[in-house]
Structures are given as C-alpha cells and as structure tokens.
C-alpha cells in the first residue's frame, strides 16, 4: 500500500473562511425556477408556490446565499416585468435561452423565497441591454425606505421594509461574445465604474462585483482583468470568476486534476488584481467572487439537448445533467480550490441550484432527489468554517497528459472550526489506496469525531429519483496517538475527517 503524510501546524494559516463561499445560483434558464424552486399546485408547494422539498434540501446543504436572476438571462432582463400583480405581468421573448418568460416569478418572489430558505440574495443588474439608470432604479426598489417612485412601488406590492440587498453584480460575463450587449474590457469598465458610483450614492453600504473572465480559456484572459480594473478598481469590492470543467477524452486522473487548474486560475486573477493595486498605488485589496462554478458533463441518454428543443417554449428541460460519482470528486476538488484561497475568495456560487448542472433535481409534479455532487458540498458547507490551515502533503504524484505539471494523488485542505480540526481529502488515484499519517502539530487532540466517506463501486454510478447509490457514509477507522493520526483513504474517495481539540 502506498503511503502519504499530511503535516498540519497550529500556527500556519492560509486565511479566514467567509461563509458566503457556500452559495448557489438561480437563473431563469430551463427548469431552474419553474418546476425547480417554484411550482404552484405541486403536492409539496407552500402558499407561495415554493417547493418545500427543495427548500428543505437547500437548508440541509448549508447554502448561505443565492445569485439571481442570471447569468446570461440578466443581460436582456427588465426587472420591472417581474413585479406587481402577476396577471398583469408581460410575457416576453427571452433571448439568452430563446424561451418565453412569463415573469410569474420575479424579484419579490425571489426575496420571499430567500427568507424561507435562510439564504442571502446576491442580485445582478443588466449592463447588457440596459445600463446605469435601470440599475439605480432596481436598487431604489430594493433598498430605499420609501417616499420615492420605485420604493413606493415596492410598498404597494406588499413589502414595506426595504430588502437591504447587500451584494450586487455589475452585469454578467460581459467578456463573452455570446452575451447580449457584449462589450470590450474598457467599454465595460467605464460603464461599470459609472454605475457603481451612482449605486453607492443611493446606498454606500452595498458591495459591488465587477465582471471578470468567463473562463480561464478565454482569449482575453487575463488582459480583461487588467483593462477593466483600470476603470473599476477603486469603485468595486470584488471581481468575479466563472469556471466549468468537462470530461471529454480525459482519463480519470486528468479529469480530477482540473481542480488544480481552478486553483491556478484564482491565483492568476489575484496577481492581476494586485498588479492594478500596485499600479494605482492603492491601499485597497480587491477580493474575488467566484459566482459561477461547476462541472459541465452529461451522463444520461435522457438528457435533453439544446438542439432538440423548439425555441420560444416555457421552461423547457435543457442541460439537465446527471452527475456521476467521478463528477462528485471533481466537484469536491473545486470546493477545495476555493478553500485554498480563502484569504481572497470571499463569495462563491455553485451553478446551478436545481435541474441544470444542479445539486438538486426535481420532477415536474413529482419527486425531488439529490445528485452525487450534493454530498461533498454539504460536508464542506456544514464543517468548513473558521480558518484554513496551511497544511503540507507529501504523497505520490502523477503527470498530466500535457506533461506541464505533476499532480499530487491526494488533494487536501484542513480547517480549524472552533474546537474541531476538519481534514477534507480526495484520493484521486483510480488504482491505489493510500495509507495516510496526519501530524497535528501544536494541537491537543481529544478524540476522533468521525470519518465521512463518499465512495462508489462504479465510478460512473449516479443517483436518481428511483435510487440513491452515491451518498456519504461514516467509518470508524482513524487511529489516534498524541499528535498523530492515521487511516486509509481508499482509491477514488471523498473524505472528511473530524478531530475534537482542546482550545
């Protein structure tokens, strides 16, 4: 059996975790909203039409915040279409996904849903086909107490107190040629700067997110960051990152190694931000909102492809991916990449919440079930609070196909969460189990609380409404002697090991 050593020292820390990294994303795309989180008439629907089974799964997962309403959708969205009496709301051609948007679900419904789910809202404004004026009106509607046109409309619609939305995205993926209202970096930067200035005149306490690159493979990356931040740096609080990974023509180890590319992506953007900070001689440090991330693979013949859909339908099932156990391991690795950069990544949103690249799947009129990726997210969102420790892993490595890097077989992050030490670890090998020794230097360890494991006999195993083949189980296999602990990480497993320490 191969061996590995993980060294964890009490005094070596990477950063403090912001709980807002455990967010998700709701967009008017396919069945994310309609028959996802909202389905009046469903047996599980409450008085507002919200699916109670989905709300329960959101709470159980530990999701802290939700980005809304897009995504590509926001770049042609007029938020005023989604407020007021439902029977008077207009039906619109939705150009991002070529659908009919009924506007039955809008801002007030979303805000009420967030309150029931116990999550914070992260709203996006349309800087594609709209602009500064529309953005400040949206902010006025949500956050101004009353006595003005838009704040009084909110009150007339049944919400007296302001929503006090703290975070706002200044558009979405404006570097992408697919984006309605696509702009160059300097064009976007100037518009975002002026919009930010106006929005903070209304509410100086809000936090604003400037659009970064949509993928690390964009031809404009990282020049987009430099050029746009030249305009926005002093006026925004975060820059966004988006990233999806697929698995076409990759071995299992290469597929899982993509999590390391996400870590590198984050570090490059941090470097770009700090370059502009130095160039401007600024005292301000810009942080990151990784507000779209996920795995983009398909593992079901039943998945409906975009090209099979007739355009201009309502809430058609597009991109409804069925995730395998292998996908869950990459998903877990992406979570660990976010934790490794906890000093700068302060917000993150898994994409999407329901039905499209989703943790939670629903049947229209039927059951709800949890995908394989739900379980590593729930583990980290429940246990990953406090401080990330700067642990060191000594283990075998493997070369990726491009031969540019060597990847450790064990991917790991350690968190000090109050009186607990939590070690998250993935064995990325498809062939070997790994005997690991954990050195907990400087800690007085009282006991092993548990060892959670996510595993499957078949790497392509998935979950469905009919079965739950992939879910977390617990083991009692961790030995402990003073400052050292040991156990075996089986091949291709997600692990969370918890120790109780004396503070």
The whole-number pLDDT of residue 220 equals 96
Q: How far is CA 99 from the centre of its chain?
A: 25
CA–CA separation, 85 vs 108, rounded Å?
A: 11
CA–CA separation, 4 vs 43, rounded Å?
A: 51
Share of the chain above pLDDT 90, in %: 91
Nearest to residue 103, comparing CAs of 87, 121, 85, 91?
91
Beta strands in 301-386 (DSSP E): 345-350, 360-362, 368-370
pLDDT digits (tens, 9 = 90+) for 222-239: 999 999 999 999 999 999
Of the given ranges (141-155, 158-172, 451-465), which has the lowest mean pLDDT? 451-465
Sign of the C-alpha dihedral, residues 288, 294, 296, 297? positive
The whole-number pLDDT of residue 401 equals 75
Residues of the chain with CATH 3.20.20.80: 18-320+343-362
Nearest to residue 390, comparing CAs of 2, 3, 16?
16
| Fold observed for domain 18-320+343-362 | TIM Barrel (3.20.20)
The whole-number pLDDT of residue 400 equals 80
CA–CA separation, 449 vs 485, rounded Å?
A: 12
Of the given ranges (246-255, 332-341, 348-357, 481-490), which has the lowest mean pLDDT? 246-255
Confidence category of residue 248, pLDDT binned at 50, 70, 90: low
Kindly list the catalytic residues. Answer: 173, 292
pLDDT digits (tens, 9 = 90+) for 288-315: 999 999 999 865 444 444 545 688 999 9
| Fold observed for domain 2-10+388-501 | Immunoglobulin-like (2.60.40)
pLDDT of 253 > 60? The answer is yes
- Average pLDDT (74-98) is 97
- Average pLDDT (156-175) is 98
- Residue 253 Ramachandran class (φ > 0 left, ψ -120 to 50 alpha, else beta): alpha
- Beta 484-489 vs 434-441: how paired, if at all? antiparallel
- The strand order across the sheet containing 410-417 reads 13-16, 387-389, 410-417, 420-427, 493-501, 445-454, 473-475
Does the bond joining 290 to the residue before it have cis omega, within 30 degrees of 0?
Answer: no
Q: How far is CA 92 from the centre of its chain?
A: 28
Residue pair 50/37 in contact by the 8 Å Cβ criterion: yes
Beta strands in 353-419 (DSSP E): 360-362, 368-370, 387-389, 392-394, 397-399, 406-408, 410-417
- Average pLDDT (144-173) is 98
CB atoms within 10 A of CB 161: 9
Residues of the chain with CATH 2.60.40.1180: 2-10+388-501
pTM attached to this predicted model = 0.96
């Amino acid at each position: 059996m191969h061996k590995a050593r993980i060294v964890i020292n009490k005094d070596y820390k990477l950063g403090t975790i912001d709980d807002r990294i455990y967010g998700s994303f709701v967009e008017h795309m396919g069945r994310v909203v309609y028959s996802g989180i909202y389905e009046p008439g469903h047996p599980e629907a409450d008085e507002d039409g919200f699916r109670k089974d989905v709300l329960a799964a959101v709470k159980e997962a530990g999701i802290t915040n939700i980005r809304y309403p897009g995504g590509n959708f926001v770049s042609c969205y007029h938020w005023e279409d989604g407020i007021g009496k439902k029977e008077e709301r207009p039906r619109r051609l939705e150009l991002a996904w070529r659908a009919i948007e009924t506007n039955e679900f809008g801002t007030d419904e979303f805000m009420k849903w967030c309150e029931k789910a116990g999550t914070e809202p992260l709203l996006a404004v349309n800087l594609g086909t709209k602009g500064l004026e529309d953005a400040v009106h949206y902010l006025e509607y949500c956050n101004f107490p009353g006595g003005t046109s838009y704040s009084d409309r909110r009150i007339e619609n049944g919400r007296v107190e302001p929503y006090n939305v703290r975070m706002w995205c200044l558009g979405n993926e404006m570097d992408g040629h697919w984006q309605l209202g696509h702009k160059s970096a300097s064009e976007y930067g100037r518009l975002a700067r002026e919009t930010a200035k106006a929005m903070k005149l209304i509410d100086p306490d809000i936090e604003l997110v400037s659009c970064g690159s949509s993928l690390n493979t964009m031809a404009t990356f990282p020049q987009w960051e430099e050029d746009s931040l030249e305009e926005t740096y002093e006026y925004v609080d975060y820059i966004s990152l988006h990233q999806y990974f697929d698995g076409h023509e990759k071995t299992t180890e290469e597929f899982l190694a993509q999590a390391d590319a996400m870590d590198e992506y984050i570090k490059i953007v941090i470097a770009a931000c700090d370059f502009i900070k130095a160039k401007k001689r600024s005292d301000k440090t810009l942080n990151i909102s990784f507000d779209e991330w996920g795995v983009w693979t398909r593992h079901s013949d039943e998945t409906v492809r975009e090209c099979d859909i007739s355009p201009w339908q309502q809430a058609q099932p597009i991109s409804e991916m069925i995730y395998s156990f292998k996908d869950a391991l990459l998903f877990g690795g992406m979570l660990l990449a976010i934790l490794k950069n906890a000093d700068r990544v302060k917000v993150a949103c898994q994409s999407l919440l329901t039905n499209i690249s989703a943790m939670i799947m629903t049947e229209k009129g039927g059951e709800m079930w949890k995908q394989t990726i739900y379980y590593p997210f729930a583990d980290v969102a429940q246990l990953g609070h406090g401080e990330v420790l700067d642990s060191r892993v000594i283990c075998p490595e493997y070369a990726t196909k491009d031969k540019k890097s060597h990847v450790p077989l064990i991917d790991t992050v350690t968190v000090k969460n109050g009186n607990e030490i939590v070690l998250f670890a993935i064995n990325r090998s498809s062939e070997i189990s790994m005997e690991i020794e954990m050195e907990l230097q400087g800690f007085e360890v009282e006991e092993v609380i548990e060892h959670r494991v996510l595993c499957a006999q078949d790497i392509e195993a998935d979950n469905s409404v009919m079965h739950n083949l992939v879910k977390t189980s617990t083991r009692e296999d961790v030995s402990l002697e003073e400052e050292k602990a040991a156990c075996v990480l089986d091949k291709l497993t997600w692990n969370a090991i918890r120790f109780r320490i004396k503070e």
